[in-house]
Structures are given as structure tokens and as C-alpha cells.
Structure 1
């Protein structure tokens, strides 16, 4: 039950944004065992003035950097997260063609009782 927020510089096509969503969904299915139809993603586009990046940590990033925040149950292992990072970079490289140095991912762990996916219930607590 991941929740994904994707941020990128404005101006990309609908097909480009769809490819990002599709590639991330596939990466989660491949590495985290996310069930079919578990699509909970938003994409936010930002003007160049409101979208900054740097070359910290020895990685030279381009204007095409994509920031991806993934919130998951706190039961995910470090190995699952590492597999997600690798698979997402691979798939995003294939489609829509994002360079691996431009794939910036942060995973946030959330306890199961912190989720309500509808009807005001804590479905996973």
C-alpha cells in the first residue's frame, strides 16, 4: 500500500508522466510485492524557479531530476528498499529515459496504524 509523490520540472508530456507512473508501479510490484491495482500516486510539476537540485554526494544531476517520495508500511526491509531503488532506476531509464543519476528516491516508513484508506477506518491496525 505505498503512497507515492513525484515531483519534476514542468513541461513534460502526458506520455512522459504516465511512463514515470507505470515504471514506478512495476518497480513496486517487482520488489515490494504490491498488489494489482494498488495505484496511489501524485505527480507535481514545478517551474524552473521553484525546482532546485544540486550535485551533492558526488552525483551530477540534470534539470530532468525526478524527486520520488514513497511512503510504505514500516515492515519493509532494507533489502526490499535497496531493490526498489535499483529497479526503479532501471525501469525509469528504459521508459521514459531518465538517467540513473536523476532518480532521487526517499522512502518514508509509516506504522500500519497510521493509515486510513477510506471510510474513516484504520484498515491495517
Structure 2
């Protein structure tokens, strides 16, 4: 059960934001074994002064169009799966909305299964 948080600078139309969410979900299901309908996402827009992404860290030239995608998910995926996800998402966003690959910042946060409750005050995975 991934929980996806997508952050970007305000001003993009709803279709753009929806396309990002769709591409994240597509990349998760195709590379990280995320099941169908396991889609929980929050998209937040920020004023330019409230969204800081260093424009040159690690030699990667980022623009103001940078999008930060943070995903909390169950621990256990190997490095190859994660790399495949990073590539699939960057490629998918580039192909669909023209977002530069350099402007796709991804962070995975792995947690144990007992850290989830999908509702009813129950830890469904334990």
C-alpha cells in the first residue's frame, strides 16, 4: 500500500496534475508490484518561495518545473526494482507531459507492514 505525495510549484492545470498521478501509479504497478486499485495520493501545490529544489545538487540541472514524488511503501523491494521504477516514472512523465527527467525528484520511504491502517482502526496487514 503505497502512500504517494506529489509536490510541485502552483500554476499547473488539473490535467497536468492528474497526468503526474496517473504516471506514478502506472510506474508503481509495472515495476514495484503494486496491486490494481491500490491508489492513495496527495497532490500539493506550493508558492514558488515555498518550494525549494536546489538547481544544481549532484550536477543535475533542475528547473522551476521540478516535481517531488515521495512514496511511503512496504519494505522489501530490491534495488533493481527501485531503479526500474525511477526510470519508468521519469520516462513516463517526460513522454506524457514533457517534464524533463532532471526535474523528477523521487524519494521512497520504506516501512514495516504493521505501520498501516486502511480504515476501521484495524492494522489489516498484521
User: What is the TM-score normalised by the length of structure 2?
Assistant: 0.96
Shift of the alpha carbon at 1:95? Answer: 1.4
CA-to-partner distance for each residue in 1:44-75, whole Å, 9 max, x for gaps? 00001111121110001000000010111012
**1:27 partnered with 2:27:** yes
Shift of the alpha carbon at 1:17? Answer: 0.3
- In the aligned structure 2, how far is the partner of 1:124 from the partner of 1:78? 23
Q: Which residue of 1 aligns with 2:116?
A: 115
- In the aligned structure 1, how far is the partner of 2:25 from the partner of 2:16? 14
Q: Which residue of 2 aligns with 1:14?
A: 14
- In the aligned structure 2, how far is the partner of 1:111 from the partner of 1:23? 25
Q: Which residue of 2 aligns with 1:95?
A: 96
- In the aligned structure 2, how far is the partner of 1:67 from the partner of 1:31? 19
Structure 1 residues without counterparts, runs of 5 or longer: none
Q: Which residue of 2 aligns with 1:58?
A: 59
User: What is the TM-score normalised by the length of structure 1?
Assistant: 0.97
- In the aligned structure 2, how far is the partner of 1:79 from the partner of 1:112? 21
- In the aligned structure 2, how far is the partner of 1:121 from the partner of 1:90? 37
Query: SS where residue 63 of structure 1 aligns?
Result: coil
Shift of the alpha carbon at 1:106? Answer: 0.4
- In the aligned structure 2, how far is the partner of 1:53 from the partner of 1:104? 9
- Aligned-pair RMSD on alpha carbons? 0.8
Query: SS where residue 95 of structure 1 aligns?
Result: helix
Shift of the alpha carbon at 1:38? Answer: 1.2
Shift of the alpha carbon at 1:105? Answer: 0.2
- In the aligned structure 1, how far is the partner of 2:84 from the partner of 2:37? 21
